[in-house]
Chains A and B, each alone.
Chain A
């Protein structure tokens, strides 16, 4: 029951909060959010119209790149997903590969395709439907992705009938409208997708020719990001890869062995980052007392500390322009530290940096203490979270340090007042109502 709670918590969190969460949380969401189990058939347009160069390098090549990306994203989001490919033009509709989870096989079959002939949309969709019907794992949802580059010679009614048949058999349809645009092609394809659409599972994207690649345009669309909840990890994964972040597990513990711990670690790191920003602003003040955090840094907590700095570094890259010089310098230092690896010396220096920042900020120290204790103790992370959230001042200071949130907003004040004794799920639900 708690796992399910976590899942829905994160989806609510992600979708409702008014500010953008850092990549950390998205990467967590990638692991956490429901991975839709799907069998997909991709319909390639390899007609003569694809020779045109208005998409760089050519329409066909742009299409092929986009398809490669989609295949990768689908197979990555859920290892049991299968993808198949067929061509709609050439000598006739031909299935290149039936739905399989073997990405290599899928990419290999895309080589050496010949361009020519005319696209047969209706036959292509019908064959795709048949291929999906004979999928091995009947639990997979059925999806067809059509790349429509040629003009559409069918009328709206025919397309709507096809759409209804797909809906009847619970097949979802995504259409990429690119290439030729004339004869009411966008409207026809819109009508087709509207006929199939059941609860927002089908989408259409119109891509006009332009400087940006077809794949780049598609990454941000629901075709990649899935239907709302499911699979928004693709975009996140792509973005994370682009940010040049880390690969592999964040904290060396992570999801498979102890998901609740991983969850807690990430949350505490994120909160600590927010605190760090606020605290760094006060760094000009004299650093007085010695910190309990420094004393508590033992070898068993090295990993947590260093990883915290690592994650800070990743986030720092994104947030740098928002920081003052002081903070930037602080984070650069932290970044340099993290690059040295998990040596005890670097950790000591790291601790020193941390302690400077935390000197004036007991709440930050508390957060660090919390995150540090998490690695040692094996207790339920949920209760820790609720304790953290119940700390009124802590929560209000987080909210203060976040961009786009006005601390004097009366609704915010009411919300904070009502926070006492609530679980974190209620917290998020309330936040959503703000």
Chain B
């Protein structure tokens, strides 16, 4: 699965996992044995045995602040066929949302993941909505099978930083 993804990284984009501000990362409704780090952190997210799982019900609310202002281009969200996420809403620059008020705001983008996406095909986002992103809130509303537990294998975000579009970084990615 890892080899499939790395060859599909869009040109000019960078994997934004390096710019995530880990001290402010929050995830609501995750199980303690399957936390968000399993899906986000490098190494963990490529390990098929490690997953992010929802706890009390099938929804997940993930808050990712970034260390720099970024532009978000596309995302890869993978998971098992049945329990992988289906409807995913993204909110840019909205802090500290809760499940109660997440549907009060229009999302910056709303994704409906297909089984292909769950295998690793990236989803291109509405680039214009994500030009100046300091933090990203990912709301996973339901899963493919409409079950009680949503499982996410990997969440990878691709884009560029606003301040420094480093040509050296671009070269690094294309070497894969």
B99 proximity list for chain A (CB < 8 A): 168-169
- Chain B 53-97, CB-CB to A under 8 Å as 1, else 0, gives 001110100000000000000000000000000000000000010
The answer to whether A138 and B96 touch across the interface, beta carbons within 8 angstroms, is yes
The answer to whether A164 and B96 touch across the interface, beta carbons within 8 angstroms, is no
The answer to whether A167 and B55 touch across the interface, beta carbons within 8 angstroms, is yes
Of chain A, the residue at the smallest CB distance from B33 is: A199
Q: How many residues of B contact A (CB 8 A)?
A: 11
A164 proximity list for chain B (CB < 8 A): 56-57
Contact A168/B57 with A198-B32, A199-B32 known, Cβ cut-off 8 Å: yes
The answer to whether A167 and B56 touch across the interface, beta carbons within 8 angstroms, is yes
Q: Does residue B98 face the partner (Cβ distance < 8 Å to A)?
A: yes
- How far is it, in angstroms, between the C-alpha of A167 and the C-alpha of B56 when the chains are bound? 7
- How far is it, in angstroms, between the C-alpha of A226 and the C-alpha of B106 when the chains are bound? 40
Closest Cβ–Cβ distance, residue A201 to chain B (whole Å): 10
Contact A168/B96 with A198-B32, A199-B32 known, Cβ cut-off 8 Å: no
Q: Does residue B173 face the partner (Cβ distance < 8 Å to A)?
A: no
- How far is it, in angstroms, between the C-alpha of A198 and the C-alpha of B33 when the chains are bound? 11
Contact A133/B32 with A164-B57, A168-B56 known, Cβ cut-off 8 Å: no
- Chain A 132-143, CB-CB to B under 8 Å as 1, else 0, gives 010000100000
User: Most A CB atoms within 10 A — which of B28, B56, B57, B59?
Assistant: B56
B98 proximity list for chain A (CB < 8 A): 133, 169
Of chain B, the residue at the smallest CB distance from A167 is: B56
Q: Does residue B110 face the partner (Cβ distance < 8 Å to A)?
A: no
Q: Does residue B114 face the partner (Cβ distance < 8 Å to A)?
A: no
Q: Does residue B29 face the partner (Cβ distance < 8 Å to A)?
A: yes
Closest Cβ–Cβ distance, residue B116 to chain A (whole Å): 30
- How far is it, in angstroms, between the C-alpha of A198 and the C-alpha of B56 when the chains are bound? 10
B57 proximity list for chain A (CB < 8 A): 164, 168
Interface residues of A in 168-187 (CB under 8 A from B): 168-170
- How far is it, in angstroms, between the C-alpha of A13 and the C-alpha of B123 when the chains are bound? 51
Closest Cβ–Cβ distance, residue A144 to chain B (whole Å): 15
The answer to whether A198 and B55 touch across the interface, beta carbons within 8 angstroms, is yes
The answer to whether A168 and B32 touch across the interface, beta carbons within 8 angstroms, is no
Closest Cβ–Cβ distance, residue B174 to chain A (whole Å): 38
B29 proximity list for chain A (CB < 8 A): 167-170
- Chain A 115-156, CB-CB to B under 8 Å as 1, else 0, gives 000000000000000000100001000000000000000000
The answer to whether B28 and A170 touch across the interface, beta carbons within 8 angstroms, is yes
- How far is it, in angstroms, between the C-alpha of A167 and the C-alpha of B54 when the chains are bound? 11
The answer to whether B55 and A169 touch across the interface, beta carbons within 8 angstroms, is no
A169 proximity list for chain B (CB < 8 A): 28-29, 98-99
A165 proximity list for chain B (CB < 8 A): 56
Closest Cβ–Cβ distance, residue B26 to chain A (whole Å): 9
- Chain B 35-67, CB-CB to A under 8 Å as 1, else 0, gives 000000000000000000001110100000000
A170 proximity list for chain B (CB < 8 A): 28-29
B32 proximity list for chain A (CB < 8 A): 198-199
A198 proximity list for chain B (CB < 8 A): 32, 55
- How far is it, in angstroms, between the C-alpha of A199 and the C-alpha of B35 when the chains are bound? 13
Closest Cβ–Cβ distance, residue A62 to chain B (whole Å): 34
Of chain A, the residue at the smallest CB distance from B23 is: A139
B56 proximity list for chain A (CB < 8 A): 164-165, 167-168
B59 proximity list for chain A (CB < 8 A): 168
- How far is it, in angstroms, between the C-alpha of A165 and the C-alpha of B32 when the chains are bound? 16
- How far is it, in angstroms, between the C-alpha of A164 and the C-alpha of B99 when the chains are bound? 13
Closest Cβ–Cβ distance, residue B60 to chain A (whole Å): 10
Closest Cβ–Cβ distance, residue A283 to chain B (whole Å): 54
CB contact between B28 and one of A138, A168, A199 (< 8 Å): that residue: A168
Across the A-B interface, the 4 shortest Cβ-Cβ residue pairs: A164-B56, A168-B56, A168-B29, A167-B56
List residues of chain A with CB under 8 Å of any chain B CB: 133, 138, 164-165, 167-170, 198-199
14 A-B pairs in the complex with CB atoms less than 8 angstroms apart: A164-B56, A164-B57, A167-B29, A167-B55, A167-B56, A168-B28, A168-B55, A168-B56, A169-B28, A169-B98, A169-B99, A170-B28, A170-B29, A198-B32
